[in-house]
Structure 1
Amino acid sequence: MLITDDFLPVPVPESLTATYLVPMVGLPKVGTKTAVRALAGRLAEPVYGLATQMLDSPLMSVDTRPVAEFPALPPDLLTAFGASQEQLDRLAAATHLVVVQAEYRPGWPPAHEWAARAVAAAVAESAGGDVVDVFGLQFLDPATALRSLPDDQGRIRLVDWVLVPYSSDAEGLWFTTKGLRRFGLLELQTQGVPDHLTRAWGAVLTGAARRLLRAWTDGLAGDEVPAFVQLPVLATVTGHDIAVAYGNPEQHGATAPVLLRLELDPATDPEADSFLSLRPPPGHPGPDGRYYAAACATLFDGIAPDVRYARPGDAMSRAIATAREGLDDVRARFLAGQLPAESQLVVKYGLPGDEGPEYVWAGVTSWDAPERIVGASASDASTDPTVRIGAPVVVEAADVVDWAVLGATGVIEGGWTQAVLDAGERPTPSSGD
């Protein structure tokens, strides 16, 4: 095995196992093979064939067990990963669990995950129940589980398979991925991320996961499973990586790549997980958080995608008024093709939330009617699960509080509210920024 300063050897597990549960009251009334046959014509053929073949092989097992025979699932973690009270109630009322397990070698395709999820979704659909992804500690309704499976070209949205939880400490935010071990790869982590980059860095880490997973599976493409795969110590992430990971490859912008340094962070506790840490490249001056903020500015065209403010003071009110006064003029220039070459027009608008509006940015793609703007979201919204990076959005002009024209190096024109926030009206970030 070649070890150089340019590559990091990452160990490869011998095999991988996927486990899915279907809680139910009583025993299943529909056989597993009958339930899977009901998916014919609804799943992409490679996945349907894979599921039926593995179901007939020793690589997959489907067992029905009393609930008491299976370790209790932690309701607090299930809730943290999106479980509703109705789903938790159905789990509490269940008398039996259908346990679907599949085993396969590391590599692509991840046959164990695709086949086991498909079979579990078929069983849950036939019983009118839920799927529990044991690895991700997530409830999935059957329709959502089936939508997450590959299309005819074998494409998936990585966000359906890899989560990015985070927590806060004295150094800032600690981000990890949860899902790369499905594919045999160690999970990623970043520490010391400034608080105001919550959603932006989650997207960056998802894009980095997509890029590294591709390198990982390329290293496993041979007939024999190697003991190690060499991953690049300096990994690049682009807007395209993020857009593809979110299932919107056509929405990516031509962003410059961002460099991140990969470090192996082995666990000292044998029961704990090892991580691959992402950090600034060598030679970066200043705290790590400053680099993360600059990386987000590059990947999101110089506009922070997750700006909130609850108390617009006089400066903010003037900024919003200034932006709104210029809307008609910038729309006219956008329609006439009079904005600077290679620039992009973006607008900021409010989404309703329990704690007040959440303000997000969107890139303008068309603006035919004065009152309605069609665009692509530049960020994930926490208040609306349909607003995701690259996803199409329709914005009412009355909801716009700011706009900006972006060039290769940042804001060319506009961005008045952002200037107010940058001057000190947003919450003070951690000392890392």
Structure 2
Amino acid sequence: MLITDDFLPVPVPESLSATYLVPVAGLPPVSPKTAVRGLAGRLADPVYGLATQMLDSPLMSVDTRSIDEFPQLPPDLLTAFGATEAQLGRLAAASHLVVVQAEYRPGWPPAHEWAARAVAAAVAESVGGDVVDVFGLQFLDPATALRSLPDAQGRIRLVDWVLVPYSSDTEGLWFTTKGLRRFGLLELQTQGVPDHLTRAWGAVLTGAARRLLRDWTDGLAGEEVPAFVQLPVLATVTGHDIAVAYGNPEQHGATAPVLLRLELDPATDPDADSFLSLRPPPGHPGPDGRYYAAACATLFSGIEPDVRYARSGDAMSRAVATARAGLDDIRARFLADGLPPEAQLVVKYGLPGDDGPEYVWAGVSSWDAPERIVGASASDANTDPAVRIGSPVEVAVTEVVDWAVLDGTGVIEGGWTQAVLDAGERPHPTH
């Protein structure tokens, strides 16, 4: 194996396994094979064939066991990863668990994950129950589990398979991925991320995971599983990587690539996980957090995708008033193709939330009716799970608090609320 300063050798596990649970009250009324046959015509052929073949092979096992044989699944962690009260209630009422396990070699496709999730979803659907993804400690309803599986072209949304949890430490936010080990790759981490980049850096890390996973599976494409795959020390991430990871490749224009340095961070505790750390490239001056902010500015066209603020009484309210006063003029210019070549119009608008509005950006694709804007979200929302990067949105003009014209360098006009934030005049957040 060639080792150079340009590549980082990452060890490859000998095999990979997937485990899914289906909590049931009593015994399942149908066999797993019968349940899977009910998916015929509803799953893409490659996945349906894979599930049926693995069910008939020693690579997969499906067993029904008394729930007392298993350690209790931690309800606090399940809740943290999205479990509802109804799902936790069905788990508490279950007498048995259907255990679906599969094993496969590292590489693409990840047959163990696709087949095991398909079989578990089929069983859960047959009993009107839920799927528990043991790796992610997540509940999945059968419809969600089935939607996460590949389409006829083998495409998936990486966000359905890889989570990006974060926590605070003394240096800022610590981000990790949770899901890349499904594919044999070490999880990613970034430390020292500024607090205001919570949503933005989660999207960047998801895009980086997509790019590195592609390099990883390319390195496993041969007939023999190698002992190591060499990943580039300088990884690149683009807006396209983020959009593809979220399943919306057509909704995101090209952006300049952002460079991130890959470092192996081996665990000192044998029971702990090793990580691949993402850091600024060599020679970057100043703190790491400054580079992460600049990277987000590049990847999100110079706008900050996660902004909450009080709307009255300070520089921010003056910025909102200035922006709203210019809405009629910017709409007229947009409709008359009066914006600079290659420029994009974006608007910031409010989404209702328990702790007050959340303000997010959207790219404008049409503005035919004066009172309503049609576009694509430029960020993920905390308050509305349907608002994701690249997802279509309709925005009431009464909810718009800012607008900006962007080119490849960032904001060239507008963006008054962003200017307040960049000047460090951020009001106290509402959450």
The alignment's TM-score, normalised by the length of structure 1, stands at 0.98
Q: Name 2:204's counterpart in structure 1.
A: 204
CA distance in 1 between partners of 2:140 and 2:425 (Å): 40
Residue in structure 2 matched with residue 39 of structure 1 by the alignment: 39
- Which residue of 2 is the match for residue 224 of structure 1? 224
Partners of 2:139 and 2:41 lie apart in 1 by 25
Could you tell me how far 1:317 is from its partner in structure 2?
1.8
RMSD over aligned Cα atoms: 1.0
Q: Which residue of 1 aligns with 2:351?
A: 351
CA distance in 1, matches of 2:394, 2:264: 43
Asked if structure 1 preserves the Cα contact closer than 8 Å seen for 2:301 and 2:408, the reply is: yes
**Does residue 332 in structure 1 map to residue 329 in structure 2?**
no
What displacement does 1:325 show? 1.1
Task: Give the Cα–Cα distance (whole angstroms) in 2 for the partners of residues 5 and 18 of structure 1.
Answer: 34
The 8 Å contact of residues 234 and 260 in structure 2, kept in 1 or not, is answered as yes
For 1:312 and 1:238, locate their aligned partners in 2 and report how far apart those are by CA, in whole Å.
Answer: 36
Distance 1:392 1:155, change over 3 A: same
Structure 1 position 262 matched with structure 2 position 268: no
8 Å CA contact 2:363, 2:376 repeated in 1: yes
In structure 2, what residue type is equivalent to 1:95?
A: S
Identity of aligned residues (%): 89
Residue 405 of structure 1 corresponds to which residue in structure 2? 405
Q: How does 1:176-325 map to 2 (within 5 A)?
A: 176-310=176-310, 312-325=312-325
Distance in 2 separating the partners of 1:362 and 1:184: 36
Deviations 1:311-339 (Å, cap 9, x if unpaired)?
A: 53232222111111111110111111110
Partner amino acid for 2:339?
Answer: L
Instruction: Give the distance between the partners of 1:31 and 1:38, measured in 2 at CA.
Output: 11
Q: Which amino acid aligns with 2:149?
A: L
The letter of the residue matching 2:294 is: A
Does the Cα contact within 8 Å between 2:310 and 2:427 map onto a contact in 1? no
- How far does the alpha carbon of each residue in 1:322-372 deviate from its partner, in whole angstroms, 9 at most, with x for none? 111111110111111110111110000000001100000000011111111
Q: Which runs of 5+ in 1 are unaligned?
A: none
Give, in angstroms, the shift of residue 235 of structure 1.
0.2
Stretches of 4+ aligned residues off by more than 3 angstroms: none
What SS is found at the alignment partner of 2:72? Answer: coil
The 1:320–1:136 alpha-carbon spacing in structure 2 relative to 1, beyond 3 Å, is same
How far, CA to CA, are the matches of 2:87 and 2:358 in structure 1?
Answer: 28
Q: Measure how far apart 1:178 and its partner are.
A: 0.1
Cα deviation 1:269-321 (Å, max 9, x = unaligned): 00000000000000000000000000000000000000110253232222111
Distance 1:14 1:252 in 2: 37
C-alpha distance after superposition, 1:98-146 (max 9, x if no partner): 0000000000000000000000000000000000000000000000000
C-alpha contact 2:310 2:428 (8 A) present in aligned 1: no
Quick one: distance in 2 between partners of 1:339 and 1:312?
31
SS at match of 1:424: coil
2:350–2:360 Cα contact (<8 Å) kept: yes
How far has the Cα of 1:428 moved from its partner?
Answer: 8.6
- Secondary structure of the equivalent of 2:424? helix
Alignment partner, residue 144 of structure 2: 144
Deviation of 1:71 (Å): 1.9
Match of residue 162 from structure 2: 162
In structure 1, give the amino acid aligned to 2:46. Answer: P
Deviations 1:4-31 (A, max 9, x none): 0000000000000000000010111111
Task: Return the TM-score normalized by structure 2.
Answer: 0.98
Q: Give the structure 2 partner of residue 376 of structure 1.
A: 376
Match for 2:253: what amino acid? G
**Residues in 2 aligned to 1:63 and 1:36: alpha-carbon distance in whole angstroms:** 15
Partner letter of residue 52 of structure 1?
Answer: T
Q: CA deviation at 1:423?
A: 2.2
Distance in 2 (CA, whole Å) between partners of 1:310 and 1:142 is 40
1:396: which partner in 2?
A: 396
Classify the secondary structure of the residue corresponding to 1:167. strand
- Render the CA deviation track for 1:241-276: whole Å, top value 9, x for unaligned: 000000000011120000000000000000000000
The aligned length equals: 429
Q: Which runs of 5+ in 2 are unaligned?
A: none
User: Aligned residue for 1:113?
Assistant: 113
Any idea what the Cα deviations from partners look like across 1:162-208, whole Å, max 9, x if unmatched?
A: 00000001100000000000000000000000000000000000000
Amino acid at match of 1:127: V
Q: In the aligned structure 1, how far is the partner of 2:153 from the partner of 2:184? A: 22
Give the distance between the partners of 1:252 and 1:320, measured in 2 at CA: 26
- Rounded to whole Å, the distance in 2 between the matches of 1:280 and 1:313 is 38
Q: SS of 2:393's equivalent?
A: strand
Specify whether residues 46 and 246 from structure 1 end up closer, same or farther in structure 2 by C-alpha distance, changes over 3 A only. same
The CA distance in 2 between the partners of 1:113 and 1:426, in whole Å, is: 44
